[in-house]
Amino acid sequence: MKLHAFLATAAELPRALRDGIDGFAGALLSGADPANLSSLFELVTRGALPTDEALADIDQPVAAGGPDGPWAYAVPAPVTAALAAASGFELDGWAREWAGPESSPGNPSSEIVRALGALAAKATPDQTLYILLDAPAGAKDLPPPRAGAGAKDLP
């Protein structure tokens, strides 16, 4: 399973799912998964978006490339706004807190938080920060995201 963060407009999203995100501003989120991203989202919104609500948001794809993915999830607007407005000092603080006191050297939390912050800061008003979940074609044991009412397969 791979998670990528990327910026796209609603009109560009079908192309990103169909052709991949090369050419889009984006970053690989090595070491991240939807559950731990939801705890980061709660942290950056200072609890305004609780982890369970953030997980529900990130567990509901806004679009899918097909039944086997990839799946796109919109980062909630309050999270994007907080990341975009954060200073480098704040981003580093969130990364340390998110990693926890038991984190080991080489923990990717700082890279992930900085990448999300940089993307959020670059977003134009017509762009959304998305998380793309992609699983290798042979990963049949990977549970797909729960399909929400707003999820739809794109051509």
Give the highest mean pLDDT range of 31-40, 55-64, 116-125: 116-125
Q: Give the model confidence (pLDDT) of 131-155 as tens digits.
A: 998 876 534 434 444 444 344 444 4
**By the 8 A CB rule, do 21 and 131 touch?**
no
Q: Give the model confidence (pLDDT) of 69-113 as tens digits.
A: 888 999 999 999 999 999 999 998 898 888 876 655 556 788 999
Residue 152 is encoded by which pair of tokens? 């739809």
Mean pLDDT for the chain overall: 81
- Residue with tokens 């560009």, as numbered in its chain: 12
Question: How far is the C-alpha of 127 from the C-alpha of 131, rounded, in Å?
Answer: 13
- Residue with tokens 């509901």, as numbered in its chain: 60
3-class secondary structure, 20: coil
Mean pLDDT, residues 1-15 = 92
Nearest to 72 by CA among 4, 126, 143: 4
